[in-house]
Structures are given as C-alpha cells and as structure tokens.
Chains A and B, each alone.
Chain A
Amino acid sequence: MDSFFDRYRNLLVLLALLLAQIIGLAMQVRRTSEGRSLVDAGDGPGVRLIRLWAEGLVSPPERFIHSLKLGSGNIWQNYIDLRDVRQQNADLKKTVDRLRLEQAALLEDARQGQRLQALVGFEEKYIYKTVAAQAIGSSGSEQSHVFYIDKGSADGLDRDMAVITPDGIVGKVRDVFPHTAQVLAINDQSSGAGVILETTRVRGILRGNSSGQPQIVDILADNRIQKGEVVLTAGGDQIFPRGLPVGVVDKVIQDPERDSFIEVLITPAAHLDRLDEVLVITSTQPRFNQQQQQDVAASEALKGAEAAQIKEQQKASQIMAERLPGLIDPSLPADQQPLHDTSNPNPVAHPPQALHPDRFSPGADAAAGSGSSASGTPDAPDATTAAEPDSTVKPQQQKTGGKPAQAIHPQNAKPKTAQPKPKSPGRNP
C-alpha cells in the first residue's frame, strides 16, 4: 500500500487537487431549469474568503506600484525629462514675441476695419459727395495744426474743401498736391469757420488758440452760453455745410482785449489728435439716394398741385373782388362811395326825439323854423335818410351783377321800393 502511494504520489496529489477544485467549481455553478449554467452572483463564504485573501495580498502592492508610478511620473516629468526645456522655452518665447507682433498687427487691422466700416456707413448716409482719405502725416510742429492726407487733386480734391469725420468737422483743405493734400485743422490759429450755438443761436467764428484748442471769438458777452452746449457749423463760410457738429462748449472766458466780448472754448467733436480716416466733401450738391429722390419727386409733384390750386384760388379771388363792392370807387363822387351805403341792416341809431326841444336838442338849428321834424316820428325816416339808399343802389347793382339789393336784404324791401328806381342801365329797360 505504501509503495502504491509512494509510486503514484505525484499523480495522486494532482488528482486530489483537481478533484478538490472541481468540487469547488461545482459548488459555485448552478444549473437553471432551462439547462443553462450560471455562476452564483453571491459568493459562498469559502469563495469570498479566498477572494478576500487574494485581494488583500495583491491590492497593497498594486497601490504601491500605482503611487510609485505617479511619483516616478512626476519625478520624470518635473525633473528628469527637462533636457530640452531650456531650448523649448527660448523657442516658445520667440514664438510668443512673434505672435504678439502678429496679434498687434491684426488688432490694428481690425480697428482700422471698424473705423473704415463706420466711415463708409457715414459716407453712404451723408448727403454730400465725399472722398475718403487717410491721414498719413503731420506738420511735426505743435504750433502748426496741419496734417496730410493720401488723396489729392487726382482724386478730385481742391482747396477749401471741408474735411470731416462722422464725429464732426476736422478742418479744410489748405493745399492740394497731385496725390496728397494738406489739411488745416480747426484748432489751428489761422483757421476759421462760421459756427452757431445750437440752443442760444449765437453765431461766431471758430479758430484755434495758442494751446491748440478751438474757440469761438468775436461774440458779445452772453450769460446764456453754458458749458456743454452743442456747437454746429453755421454754413456761412462757404466751406462747411450747415449743421455739422463742431463740438461742445467747454468754457466761457472773458476776452482779454475787449471787455464786452467773450471767448468760448470748444471741445471738438472730432478727435483731432487721433485722426486716421477722414472724409473730404468734394461737392455740396445734395446727393440723394433712390428713396430720397423718390421723396423729392413726390414732394415736387405735391408742390406743383398745391401751386396750381393756389393759383386757381387767387384767380377766383380776383373774380370775386371784381364782382363785390369795393371800398372806394374812383368813378363816383365822395358822397356816393360805397361807404355811404345805407343798405346796411344795422343803421346808426339816432337819438329819440325830445319832447320839449330846445336849442341844445339835436338838429335844433335846422328844425327850429319849420317844426316839421319835431312832429315826425322815429319810424318815419326823413327825406335825407330815405334818400340815402338811392346813392348805393347803383354801385351795389354794378358789383353784384345787376341783382337788386332787396333780394339780398329782404328787411329793407319796403323803403327801397318806395324810392326811385336805380340808375342801373341793366335793370331799366
């Protein structure tokens, strides 16, 4: 027996181990009613114990290796693998410098593009014909506020053309060359522009002072002028169109040479110290777009219709004036003028007849001898008043085209019918 175990010891151990593991596997796997084999989701106590041992045996070294890997990675990345870092740093610095220059150039291009876009937008909306130009140089002197633009006579520029920006006026073209032009800014002491204050409507001349700030001179002291008031071009200088923004009032000071005059310092609306793109007004003839042209045409058409209507009205008025009575008829004597017309429905009221007339009673001198008027009643008009309408018949019939006066004033029909017929030839056969 001993020899059997000794002889097959190795094989028996192998079989024992295999059998034990097969039994263990059989305990872990169960067969379902459909014939499928499933591993139990929950391990048995023995299996779980083996897994705990394995996990407890392997996990600490794994954590150690993991931390070692992290540490070695950090050491490698932060200390060892830095051989070319210095060169890379130098290269990166060069790259950063180059990119900064490119960024600055791109930024400047972008800003210029925005300014040009705004300028083009303003030029399209502006009613006058303009030429866009760029400021390319200056005089180089603080006392000379002139600058040069890149457009000249070849581009249609001429002397004394207004130079503006969308913000406000800048100056005028002082000298023109074939491809450049010299612009005199409004803050130069030799410049001049007619301006008007928007609120107070005070007019003056704008020119620069010694410090390069534009100011309005030659205006009488006026305490209505306050700081912040808007200044516009007046349009009387034949250079700047009327109504362009010039700036706002900055300060009002006394004219040092003349007591009754003041000087109004202006903060220019245009950035005169940072000019890049400007517009030169080459023509002050209004330049309308299609919509504006349609509006103008419609306005002209409406204006023509109104003028014809007004003419018709004037013609009708003349006709009516010829037919209506005039105030003075040169062909009639003074006592028969239309002003003596007694056909007035509201005749002048006469005072009542006195019961005991005396020498102070009205008409006492005339009625003293006869006494006929004293006996008359107010309802009975005397011959003078009764005869008065006769003198008005003729002109009235003439002015009204022969129509009887009583037809117009029926309340006067009785007195007029009692009177002699008018002298109108049209009415008397």
Chain B
Amino acid sequence: MPLLGADLRRDLEIRRYPILVYGLVPLAALVLQAWLPRVLGQFAWFDLPLVVTVYFALCRRSPIQGTLTGAAMGLFEDALTQHPIGVNGIAKTIAGFLAASVGVRIDVENHTIRLMLIFLLSLMSSGLVVFVSRFMLGLDYQWRWYTALFAALGNSLIALVLFPMLDRLQIRD
C-alpha cells in the first residue's frame, strides 16, 4: 500500500466538487436508500449513505468534514426510521472520521483500496449499530451476521460503480 506524507497528500490531492454535488448526491443517496427497498424488498443489501459518506471523506481528506458528513447522513437515516435518532449517526460519524483519516495516508485513487476500505467500514458500521443498539441502549435488536456481510459486499459493488462516476464530477484545475 503506497503511503505518503499526510500533509503532502492532503495538499496535493484534495478534490473539489460543485456545490450541488455536495447537496444532491447525499440527498439522492438518502432518497434511494428509502425508495429502493420498496422495490427490492429484503434483498436491499446496501447502505448508500455510508458509501457516499466514505467517498466524500476519502476525497475531501478532512476528518472533520467526514465526521460531519457521516453524522448528518446517519442522523437523517435514523430520522426516516422509527428507531432512536443517533444510532446510525454514531456509526457513520465514526466511519466518516476513519475514512477521512485513512484517506489522508493512502492512495485513494486505487480502486482496490477503495473497495477494501468500503467493505471494512461497512462491516464496522454494522458492528457499531449493533453495539449501540444492544449494548449502549439495551434494545432488543435482531441482527444477522450474513446480512451485514451481504450489505458490505453490496456497498463494495456499488462503490465500484459509483466512485468512478462521482470522480467525473470533481472540479479539475
């Protein structure tokens, strides 16, 4: 894994996007995450807000922005459910922070690294959700490990398609 100095990579490879992309892409992720399960039913094994959070965290290379993006996405995701608001918020806050923190130190242009990172962060996010729900809040949260695995694989596949598409939207000098 090619490692560079953090300050150097952050200065050289911070990507910028049109302002609409910052608003519409997360909104589209939230909308599709709410709409697609109606179409796919129980086969909706993906977490688009997490994918978008990781993408912007990796590309912006700012842990604070990644943290805020993850928190916002997670809170909105929680707000669309009947669950307590903050469960997904905590998970995606940490995921955004970690993605941005890792993105400072690795070559995010490599697709394999991206896919591995999104896969691991997906598993971690699922684990955090379970941890917060069952251990912090003491709720009766039903959890299946293979669902988390399928969701991680699904996120990886989506990232494999979505990340190059979003790369095209960046502002190039």
B85 in contact with A14 (CB, 8 Å): no
Cβ of A22 under 8 Å from chain B: yes
Which chain B residues border A55 with CB–CB below 8 Å? 79-80
The SS class assigned to the B binding surface is: helix
Cβ of B30 under 8 Å from chain A: yes
How many interface residues does chain A have, given as a range? 20 to 34
C-beta contact mask, A302-319 vs B, less than 8 Å → 1, else 0? Answer: 000000000000000000
Known: A17-B93, A53-B79. A22 touches B67 (CB 8 A): no
Which chain A residues border B138 with CB–CB below 8 Å? 29, 31, 36-37
Of all chain B residues, the one with the shortest Cβ separation from A29 is: B137
In the complex, number of A-B residue pairs with CB atoms less than 8 Å apart: 93
A21 to B86, CA, bound (A): 5
Known: A10-B101, A18-B93, A31-B138. A58 touches B86 (CB 8 A): no
Of all chain A residues, the one with the shortest Cβ separation from B97 is: A14
State which of A14, A22, A65 has its C-beta within 8 Å of the C-beta of B94: A14
A58 to B37, CA, bound (A): 14
Of all chain B residues, the one with the shortest Cβ separation from A21 is: B86
How many interface residues does chain B have, given as a range? 20 to 34
B67 in contact with A14 (CB, 8 Å): yes
A17 in contact with B71 (CB, 8 Å): yes
B31 in contact with A58 (CB, 8 Å): yes
Which chain B residues border A10 with CB–CB below 8 Å? 63-64, 67, 97, 101
A67 to B84, CA, bound (A): 31
Which chain B residues border A39 with CB–CB below 8 Å? 82-84, 139
Chain A residues with CB under 8 Å of chain B are: 9-10, 13-14, 17-18, 21-22, 24-25, 28-29, 31, 36-37, 39, 47, 50-51, 53-55, 57-58, 61-62, 65-66
11 A-B residue pairings within 8 Å (CB atoms): A9-B64, A14-B67, A14-B97, A25-B86, A28-B86, A39-B82, A54-B79, A58-B34, A61-B28, A65-B35, A66-B35
Chain B residues with CB under 8 Å of chain A are: 27-28, 30-31, 34-35, 63-64, 67-68, 71, 75-76, 79-80, 82-87, 89-90, 93-94, 97, 101, 132, 136-139
